[in-house]
């Protein structure tokens, strides 16, 4: 049997936390390896008033901070006695997730969904929806159950 390899996009939200919990539980059962991916979203020129790219030193500091924060997630994986690694890239999130799945021969992408509907989804787009349509493998979108107010 071939080794299972799951890709878990991490955006530091509660939705990503829930997807990671789900991925770890499934990985334990299937003895899968996890790759945790964070995409530093590229800011298209012309969207803001900035006519120049962000300073290189700012991007270096941002990437270093994100890489450090990803170690917390990797520790959770390792503490669960699972194999894993982290990857931080720059680009458009849905595209980088799909490309990483191809590059690393991922068997399953497990990602959170912010659950936007209506105008929110129309204007913001849905990373999960684009990944589902374009991924070279199956995609599990883990949605946390809504909390009922007390």
Percent of the chain's residues with pLDDT above 90: 63
Threshold 0.75, pTM exceeds: yes
Neighbours of 146 (CB within 10 A): 7
User: Hey, which of 38-47, 58-67, 99-108 has the most confident mean pLDDT?
Assistant: 99-108
Structure tokens given for 113: 């969904």
The DSSP output letter for 55 is: P
pLDDT for 66? 95
Q: What is the mean pLDDT of residues 44-56?
A: 56
Q: Beta strand 5-9 with 138-142: parallel, antiparallel or unpaired?
A: unpaired
Q: Which residues contact 53 (CB under 8 A, 6 or more apart)?
A: 45
Name which CATH class applies to 5-100+111-142: alpha beta
Please write the tens of the pLDDT for every residue from 122-133: 444 588 889 999
Sheet holding 84-91, edge to edge: 84-91, 33-41, 5-9, 108-112, 138-142
**Structural domain boundaries in the chain:** 5-100+111-142
């Amino acid at each position: 049997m071939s080794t299972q390899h799951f890709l878990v996009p991490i955006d530091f939200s509660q939705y990503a936390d829930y997807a990671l919990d789900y991925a770890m539980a499934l990985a334990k059962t299937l003895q899968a390896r996890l790759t945790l991916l964070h995409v530093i979203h590229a800011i298209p020129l012309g969207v803001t008033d900035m006519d120049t790219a962000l300073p290189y030193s700012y991007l270096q500091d941002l990437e270093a901070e994100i890489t450090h924060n990803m170690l917390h997630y990797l520790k959770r994986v390792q503490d669960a006695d699972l194999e894993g690694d982290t990857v931080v890239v720059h680009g458009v999130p849905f595209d980088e997730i799909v490309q990483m799945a191809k590059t690393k021969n991922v068997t399953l992408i497990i990602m959170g969904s912010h659950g936007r509907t209506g105008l929110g989804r129309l204007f913001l787009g849905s990373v999960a929806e684009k990944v589902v349509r374009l991924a070279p493998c199956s995609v599990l979108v883990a949605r946390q159950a809504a909390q009922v107010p007390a």
